[in-house]
Amino acid sequence: MKLNGNTVLITGGATGIGLALAESFLKQENEVIICGRREKRLIEAQKNHPNLHIKECDVSTEEGRKSLFKWVTDNFKNINILINNAGIQRAIDFTEGIKSLEGENEITINLEALIYLSALFIPILESKEESAIINISSGLAITPLAVFPVYCATKAGVHTFTQCLRYQLSKTSIKIFEVLPPIVDTELNMEYRDKRGTGNRGIKSAKCAAAIIKGLANDEFEILNPTLENLKTATRSDLDKLFESMNGHW
């Protein structure tokens, strides 16, 4: 994939992996747009990177997605890369019943937004000589943690959707990438991490972004968490054993 001269839209781009990717693409002389729900964080990002374009919006809503699409296509005619990065993670205990689902909806933010934004932008991206959709999934799409049941389900959905999209668009100019990061030191579910006193904060966002950029440059359509490499040849029994070992504390 060509890494310079692009116009890139990154959802959830004000912090974490999204911001690290924005910084990486700016260094490669691309035009970069980030969007998110927190105006303050967007403004902070732009202050640090004056060439960055920002847009406050909520991609979990139909109105937010359509508004973003119109604004981007009206102002950035050369848009050719969409990075679906926006996401949240919640610890949910279903022994509490329906009460456990009160609060932000992981399905609309992590999965629905990604699907609908892809559908909105595909006709635009298809008209470009070179274009790409990059979906930020998770290693938990393959090996889930029971404490994050809906999050893991949405990322498994992202994984499956990305595979199908790659197949459907194989005859077009759009390259379809999936990134399955390991634990990354971001604000994702920081409240839960602090509550549990989690010692392993994961790799730095910049290191994660560097691995993603390298994978994109080499047209690695599944940019894997290194610990998942062995799962390419894993049996169902292997996966079941890994699941039990990861969730033994539950």
Residue 180, both tokens: 């399955």
Contact indicator for 188, 87 with CB cutoff of 8 Å: yes
Burial class (CB within 10 angstroms; exposed 0-12, middle 13-18, buried 19+) of 61: middle
Burial class (CB within 10 angstroms; exposed 0-12, middle 13-18, buried 19+) of 208: buried
Count Cα atoms within 13 angstroms, Cβ side, for 225. 18
Residues 6 or more apart whose Cβ sits within 8 Å of residue 141: 152, 155, 156, 158, 159, 180
Catalytic pick among 116, 151, 167, 192: 151
Contact indicator for 197, 25 with CB cutoff of 8 Å: no
CA 139 to chain centre: 12
Helix axes 62-75, 113-126, angle to 10 degrees: 20
DSSP 160: H
167 is catalytic: no
For residue 212, give the nearest of 10, 49, 53, 42 by alpha carbon. 10
Active site residues: 151
